[in-house]
Amino acid sequence: QEAAARAWGFRGIALSRLGNTQFAQIALYKAHNQAKALDHKPLLIDAMTELGNLHASMGTHSKAIAKFEQAFALATQAGERVRAMNIAGQTGKLFYSLDSQEKALEYYSFALKTAQDLGQSRAECLYRISLGNVLLAEEEIDGATEQFEEALNLAGQMDDRGVEITALSHLLKASVAAQRLGTATLYGD
């Protein structure tokens, strides 16, 4: 039954990526129901998360938020810290896209703290950049710049050029917003 639940989940993900949302939803609910019957928390969390992603892609944001919040609560309760961190990041991203900055900050802050606790430096960098973007949207330029600089420093320590470039591009954006053209040119170069 566990293998069947996983197979339904993978089928749902594949169908979703192919754009067949109706059958993707059916498959993901089958995975969800089987995982629930088995009381298999990780599978149940994953199925709810994928249902949240599906609803977000379909534009049914209230359903997406409900699924993400259910998955987040269950992951937190079950001690699934990595899953909770990832779900918090996805939920923060959805709230950010809906211009709900306060909720985005709440979820991104949780994801950042968990990444730090787990020693996941790359995730920490990415959540710092996400937090910085929310702060920038709130016109808290100094706070945003601080998050971007922390991400840049950490990416440099990890020697992760991709994250470094991302952090630099966000520092450029923050410098332009602050009308600091000298630093904007520096970060751009």
> What is the DSSP annotation of 30-85?
HHHHHHHHHT-HHHHHHHHHHHHHHHHHHT-HHHHHHHHHHHHHHHHHHT-HHHHH
**By the 8 A CB rule, do 154 and 128 touch?**
yes
CA atoms within 13 A on the CB side of 105: 13
- How far apart are the two ends of the chain, measured CA to CA in Å? 55
Q: What is the pLDDT of residue 132?
A: 97
pLDDT (0 to 100) of residue 131: 97
Cα–Cα distances in angstroms (integers) from residue 76 to residues 145, 168, 183, 189, in the given order: 30, 33, 41, 42
What average pLDDT score do residues 5-23 get? Answer: 95
- Per-residue pLDDT, 108: 98
Q: Give the per-residue pLDDT at 46.
A: 97
Counting beta carbons within 10 angstroms of the beta carbon of residue 1, is it exposed (0 to 12), middle (13 to 18) or buried (19 or more)? exposed
- CB-based contact 83:42 (threshold 8 Å): yes
SS3 102: helix
Neighbours of 21 (CB within 10 A): 16
Q: Give the Cα separation of 111 and 116 in Å (integer).
A: 9
pLDDT for residue 29: 96
Dihedral of the alpha carbons of 170, 176, 181, 184, in degrees to the nearest 10: 10
Average pLDDT over residues 107-126: 97
Average predicted confidence (pLDDT) for the chain: 95
CA distances (Å), 31 to each of 15, 22, 59, 175, in order? Answer: 13, 15, 22, 47
Fill in the amino acid letter for 63.
K
Banded model confidence at residue 161, pLDDT cuts 50, 70, 90:
very high
Looking at residue 49, its pLDDT comes to 97
What pLDDT band is residue 69 in, cutting at 50, 70 and 90?
very high
